Amino acid sequence: MRVGSHDVDALIDEVSVNCSCSRTHSVGLKGIEVVNGHAGETVLRLIGENCCAERVAVAVDRVTLGVLGGEVAGALSSSGIEVKLVEVTKADEANVSAVERSLAGTEFAVAVGGGTVIDVCKLASYRSGKPFVSVPTALSHDGISSPVASIWLGDRPYRTSVLAREPMAVVADISVLRGSPRRLAAAGVGDLLAKVTALKDWELGKRYGGEEVCEAAYQLEVMAIKRALEFVRGGLREHEKLLEGLVFSGLAMSLVGSSRPASGSEHLISHYIDGKGKSRALHGEQVALGTVAMALYHSEVNDMWWKEERLGWRRIRRVMEEVGLPVTLAEIGLNEEDGVGAIVNAADIRPERFTVLHMRRPSEQEAMSLLRRTGIC
Ligand SMILES: [Zn+2]
Ligand SMILES: [Zn+2]
């Protein structure tokens, strides 16, 4: 399979061949199709190549139906496939069940949308044992091709990362992605900047929790960070680069079967903020803010922190300013107290996911100092 100029199969072979970890690496993602228009026909061809579906469920939301969902559904029905359109409104159990119900009697699912639609469809198709194709309408997060769904479960105050299965293929219509709001692409950059701290948290999990760090997944995340920085350097015009970065991160998660390579203390802070329900920010915007604070914290308490200056908190913050990501709590509707509470308490959300916040829980005073010194508040 190819992503931009990269042969991803060769890449996985290359990164896995000398992998020191004990896992057997396999990835369910069979193809990434980057197209310029004609996404519907491409989905139709992929379905034809992989099964002989007569009925397909197409998950959309109100916006993505108009952007690309209608086109995909139209291409399928005009070739005689019975299409069941299902509208997703929230990434919660009720919506997962609704998509599962519409998957009954179909052989295939297609998710056309951003994070919510793809996450819901991912879990529903996993539970139903049906393959699905991911058709992203924006590049705002790395869930496009990952096996992990982020869902509101029961009355838990924050989203839970649920292991599902990655899509069989991703169809990326580059003209649609280029036309999507700049804020969404900036959020995608934010979700990739988060790997700077997520990877270091993973290393701490190895040192203090005996976790295994998969070198192949680690290297994919390093490449993902590089792609994000290249996308920024190119003036946010080469969306293929951002797509590559997000797909690499999804592949890293597929290799280890969890979000571990992609999600550390900065994601826990974001989940904590989600739980308070006050923030107006996107996932990628929140985790990027968490990354700045955690990068400073790591640099002070973690002797394994990056030596490269370009991965330090100052440079991360500068990149965020360049792409128009929020760099203060006020910009996302939060105050200092909210930020301090998130940093001090985020570790409780997932006690088993060892991060720098578990290694050494900051006091309120220290959390406040991190926020002030980084200019976050
Ligand atoms: Zn994320
Ligand atoms: Zn490995």
What mean pLDDT is predicted for residues 348-372?
A: 97
- Average predicted confidence (pLDDT) for the chain: 94
Q: How far does residue 292's CA lie from ligand 1's centre (Å)?
A: 15
Q: Which ligand is nearest to the CA of 215?
A: 2
Residue with tokens 């508040």: 377
6 pLDDT exceeds 90?
no
- The architecture that CATH gives domain 183-373 is Up-down Bundle (1.20)
Q: How far does residue 375's CA lie from ligand 2's centre (Å)?
A: 38
Q: How far does residue 195's CA lie from ligand 1's centre (Å)?
A: 9
The span from the CA of 79 to the CA of 57, in Å, is 15
Q: Which ligand is nearest to the CA of 190?
A: 1
List, as ranges, residues with CB under 5 A of the ion ligand 2: 19, 21, 214, 216
Report the predicted TM-score, pTM, of the whole model to 2 decimal places.
Answer: 0.95
- List, for residues 97-147, the tens digit of each pLDDT value: 999 999 999 999 999 998 899 999 999 999 999 999 999 999 999 999 999
Q: Which ligand is nearest to the CA of 194?
A: 1
pLDDT band at 156 (very low <50, low <70, confident <90, very high): confident
Q: Which ligand is nearest to the CA of 212?
A: 2
List, as ranges, residues with CB under 5 A of the ion ligand 1: 191
pLDDT band at 258 (very low <50, low <70, confident <90, very high): very high
- List, for residues 203-229, the tens digit of each pLDDT value: 999 999 999 999 999 999 999 999 999
Q: How far does residue 313's CA lie from ligand 1's centre (Å)?
A: 18
- List, for residues 300-331, the tens digit of each pLDDT value: 999 999 999 999 999 999 999 999 999 999 99
What mean pLDDT is predicted for residues 2-26?
A: 72
Give the residue, 17 or 21, on which the prediction is more confident.
Answer: 21
Could you please report the per-residue DSSP string of 260-278? Answer: GGG-SHHHHHHHHHHHHT-
Burial of 304 (0-12, 13-18, 19+ CB in 10 A): exposed
356 pLDDT exceeds 80?
yes
The span from the CA of 46 to the CA of 42, in Å, is 6
Kindly report, as residue ranges, where domains of CATH 1.20.1090.10 are found in the chain: 183-373
**Does the 36-179 domain belong in CATH 3.40.50.450?**
no
Kindly report, as residue ranges, where domains of CATH 3.40.50.1970 are found in the chain: 36-179
Query: For the chain, what percent of residues have pLDDT higher than 90?
Result: 85
